[in-house]
Amino acid sequence: MNRREFLLAGGLAGIGSLAAKYVDPQSSFHQGQIMTVLGPIPPEVLGSTLSHEHVLVDFIGAEAVSRDRYDAEEAYEVILPYLQKVRELGCQGFVECTPAYLGRDPLLLKRLADATGLHLLTNTGYYGAANDRYIPEHAYQETADQLADRWVKEWQEGIEGTGIRPGFIKIGVDGGPLSEIDRKLAQAAARTHTRTGLTIASHTGNTRAAMDQMEIFAEEGVKPEAFIWVHAQSDWELKSRIDAAQKGMWIEIDNIDTGSVAECVNRVNTLKQRGLLSRLLVSHDAGWYSPGEPKGGSFRGFDTAYTTFLPALRQARWTEEEIHQLMVVNPSTAFAVRIRKTTSGSLF
Between residues 21 and 269, the one the model is more confident about: 269
Q: Which residues contact 322 (CB under 8 A, 6 or more apart)?
A: 272, 277, 313
The answer to whether residue 348 is domain-embedded is no
The answer to whether residue 10 is domain-embedded is no
> Omega of the bond prior to 177 within 30 degrees of 0, cis?
yes
The residue type found at 159 is I
Please report which confidence band the pLDDT of residue 1 belongs to, taking 50, 70 and 90 as the band edges: very low
The answer to whether residue 339 is domain-embedded is no
The answer to whether residue 25 is domain-embedded is no
Partnered with residue 39 across adjacent β-strands are 36
What is the rounded CA–CA span in Å between residue 31 and residue 53?
25
According to the model, what pLDDT value does residue 30 have? 65
Partnered with residue 49 across adjacent β-strands are 93
E strand segments, the chain: 34-36, 39-41, 49-53, 93-96, 119-121, 123-124, 168-173, 200-204, 227-230, 250-253, 280-282
**pLDDT above 50: residue 14:** no
The answer to whether residue 290 is domain-embedded is yes
pLDDT per position as a tens digit, 176-217: 999 999 999 999 999 999 999 999 999 999 999 999 999 999
Between residues 15 and 303, the one the model is more confident about: 303
Q: Are 323 and 10 in contact (CB under 8 A)?
A: yes
According to the model, what pLDDT value does residue 343 have? 73
**pLDDT above 80: residue 12:** no
Q: Which of 6-10, 189-193, 238-242, 321-325 has the least mean pLDDT?
A: 6-10
The answer to whether residue 345 is domain-embedded is no
**pLDDT above 70: residue 153:** yes
- Specify the number of domains making up the chain: 1
CATH number of the domain enclosing 129: 3.20.20.140
Average pLDDT in the 122-140 region? Answer: 97
The number of C-alpha atoms within 13 Å of 345 and in the hemisphere containing its C-beta is 2
pLDDT per position as a tens digit, 263-299: 999 999 999 999 999 999 999 999 999 999 999 999 9
Edge-first strand listing for the sheet containing 119-121? 49-53, 93-96, 119-121
**pLDDT above 80: residue 336:** yes
What is the rounded CA–CA span in Å between residue 170 and residue 134?
13
Q: Which residues span the domain enclosing 56?
A: 32-334
The answer to whether residue 16 is domain-embedded is no
- In this prediction the pTM is 0.90
Mean pLDDT of the residues in the chain: 91
Average pLDDT in the 147-157 region? Answer: 97
pLDDT per position as a tens digit, 54-92: 999 999 999 999 999 999 999 999 999 999 999 999 999
Angle at 283 between CA 91 and CA 278, to 5 degrees: 90
Average pLDDT in the 94-108 region? Answer: 98
Average pLDDT in the 160-169 region? Answer: 97
**pLDDT above 80: residue 171:** yes
The answer to whether residue 18 is domain-embedded is no
pLDDT per position as a tens digit, 221-246: 999 999 999 999 999 999 999 999 99
The fraction of the chain above a pLDDT of 70, given in percent, is 90
**pLDDT above 70: residue 322:** yes
Between residues 25 and 268, the one the model is more confident about: 268
